[in-house]
Chain A
Amino acid sequence: MAILVFAETADKKIKKSSLEAVSYAAAMGGDVVAVVLGQVEGGELDKIGTSGGTKVLHADDAKLNEGVIQAYASVLAEATGKAGADTVVLAKSSLGDAVAARLSVKMGAGLVSNVVALPQGNKVKRSIYTGKAFANVELKGSKKIIAIKKNAVPLKTDGGAAVVEKFAPSLSDTDFKAKITSQEKAKGKVLLPEADIVVSGGRGLKGPENWGMVEELADALGAATGCSKPVSDMDWRPHHEHVGQTGVKVSPSLYIAIGISGAIQHLAGVNSSKYIVVINKDPEAPFFKAADYGVAADAFEVVPKLTEAIKALNN
């Protein structure tokens, strides 16, 4: 039985988190059919094969370029039938969650999100209490949807070529009733939930004018930038950069916190990171207890030095 993967796109490129979902499905075994909706740049579909996919269903329709929640759910339901799939894997995201919920009702499929590892039979392990615990959950029926967290499995890079098949789903006007009228996106930046490395700043940076230092370090590392809740509340940074309990939850390989004391609500958003570096001038900051590496010193002194050292390493 084939496994269907919802391969989400951003700016006509397949998201890295979705390629991880392809690798996850490949590791489950069997045929992996990835569904790509809307137009994409040349060469993008090849990444499905490299990541472990065997087939691509590509609905190359400009009407699907934007993530219309209801339409995507209907198209994916149609694709499960076409591919003969009873399992769907996707990466957790603001669109993925919204689409998966509707899809699960259409399919009558059990749905588990925030999954952190490969399934054991019908059981999956999911993160709960905002990363403070895990639950082992059994999916009861034969139909299931698994929404994975970033870093649930390593991204496969040595897969073969996937067969690309055009797919012309039936689109219904009722699915386009909620209309997207415009989008605003930060250009050319690494997306926070997608990033392997995240550099975040807190109130210790004293003001939005000092963010250049955070961005330079992020650029040197190819990282995304984040911030603590007070920083986004004070409008120093946009809300989509707020990392924490009520903001974005990240699970990168490396999280670097600069001038963030480590309130429990912030830790909830970052505790799934593989490694945490904390830079804070207060040696008693609670964040050090959650860190792997710490520097108890003034960020204005340490961060530029760290950026220089990373740049030297890259050269």
Chain B
Amino acid sequence: MKILVCITHVPDTTSKIAFTDGNTKFDSNGVQYIIGPYDDYALARAVELKEQTGGTITVLNVGTVETEPTLRKALAIGADDAIRVNVAPADSFFVAAQIAEVAKAESFDLILMGRESIDFNGGMVHGMVGELLGIPSISPVMKLDVEGNKVKMTREIEGGKELLEAELPLVAGCQEPIAEWKIPNMRGIMSARTKPLKVVEPSAVDGLTVTENYELPPAKGQVKMIDKDNIGELVRLLKEEAKVI
């Protein structure tokens, strides 16, 4: 089975979010970049599937040269080769179109990625890739098993889950608990240095949206502490001040 895992290169979940250049650019000063946590689940499941059924894992990122350490980390975790589409991601459609172009040329059986990136949280790329390739897209997937050509999945829905069956090829947006995150071991890290990382130039596609600028939420006011023996006061505040009950 040929698996493609698309990963994002995003600030660590504990990063302080700030902007520069008149709030038009993300301030990456002191920020640690990681494989998107959801993408990390997708990659971990791909490694498990490869262990079971054999095949190859290609990992892909749409990004500039700074994302290469993140791709190398994915190689250390267990991908066989990497592709970097050499362009800064413009919007969801732009990224999806780049992925679809690569996928058309390589005919992957299974395309996995996180349910959403943790920077822009769009959660749209997998669906767009599925539509561009004319194959099913399922998200958010919390369990995925492959038997021959058949894929059984569990998808999270509001208040529960649903079970689905489909045939390869397909695209899945993954989330926990599809697999446990894998930490690269020393052998993985050593071998990742020599695994192929191919840089391809982007295809000519226009994004459909433009981010003009950013803003931070207003600072939270001081918390009002209420004595445990005066819970009636909390209820009064919720009713009369906040007007939420």
Which residues of B135-158 are within 8 A (CB) of A? 136-140, 142, 155-158
For A114-140 the 0/1 string (1 means CB < 8 A from B) is 100000000100011111111111111
Q: Find the B residue at minimum CB distance from A138.
A: B210
Are B231 and A306 neighbours in the complex by a CB distance under 8 Å?
yes
Q: Hey, which chain A residues are within 8 Å of B13, CB to CB?
A: 245, 264-265, 268
* Stretch from A51-59, A173-181, A201-209 forming part of the interface with B: A173-181
Q: Hey, which chain A residues are within 8 Å of B237, CB to CB?
A: 293
- Partner of B138 from the list A69, A185, A197 (CB cut-off 8 Å) is A69
B215 within 8 A of A: yes
A243 within 8 A of B: no
Q: Known contacts A69-B138, A141-B208, A245-B118; is A102 also within 8 Å of B165 by CB?
A: no
Are B238 and A98 neighbours in the complex by a CB distance under 8 Å?
no
Q: Hey, which chain A residues are within 8 Å of B120, CB to CB?
A: 128, 135
For A159-192 the 0/1 string (1 means CB < 8 A from B) is 0000000000000000001111111111001011
The B interface, classified by DSSP as helix, strand, loop or mixed, is mixed
B192 within 8 A of A: no
Distance between Cα atoms of A189 and B160 in the complex (Å): 11
Q: Known contacts A69-B127, A109-B208, A302-B231; is A101 also within 8 Å of B221 by CB?
A: no
- Write the nearest CB–CB distance from B116 to chain A, whole angstroms: 8
* Stretch from A21-29, A32-40, A81-89, A269-277 forming part of the interface with B: A269-277
Interface size class of B (residues with CB under 8 A): 35 or more
Interface size class of A (residues with CB under 8 A): 35 or more
B190 within 8 A of A: no
- With most chain A CB atoms within 10 A of its CB, the pick from B11, B128, B177 is B128
For A226-267 the 0/1 string (1 means CB < 8 A from B) is 000000000000111000011001000110000000001100
For B155-183 the 0/1 string (1 means CB < 8 A from A) is 11111111111110010010111000000
Distance between Cα atoms of A224 and B23 in the complex (Å): 36
B125 within 8 A of A: yes
Are A110 and B119 neighbours in the complex by a CB distance under 8 Å?
no
Are A179 and B165 neighbours in the complex by a CB distance under 8 Å?
yes
Q: Hey, which chain B residues are within 8 Å of A288, CB to CB?
A: 223, 225
Which residues of B209-245 are within 8 A (CB) of A? 209-217, 220-221, 223-228, 231-232, 234-235, 237-239, 242, 244-245
Could you list which residues of chain B lie within 8 angstroms of chain A, going by C-beta atoms?
11, 13-14, 17, 19, 37-38, 91-93, 96, 118-128, 130-132, 136-140, 142, 155-167, 170, 173, 175-177, 206-217, 220-221, 223-228, 231-232, 234-235, 237-239, 242, 244-245
Given A185-B157, A294-B225, A309-B232, 18 new contacts (CB under 8 A): A10-B159, A101-B123, A101-B126, A129-B118, A134-B217, A135-B212, A137-B209, A183-B157, A183-B162, A186-B159, A192-B158, A265-B13, A275-B242, A293-B226, A296-B225, A301-B228, A313-B239, A313-B245
Could you list which residues of chain A lie within 8 angstroms of chain B, going by C-beta atoms?
10, 66-67, 69-70, 73, 93-95, 97-102, 104-106, 108-114, 123, 127-141, 177-186, 189, 191-194, 196-197, 221, 238-240, 245-246, 249, 253-254, 264-265, 268, 271, 274-275, 277-278, 288-298, 301-302, 305-306, 309-310, 313
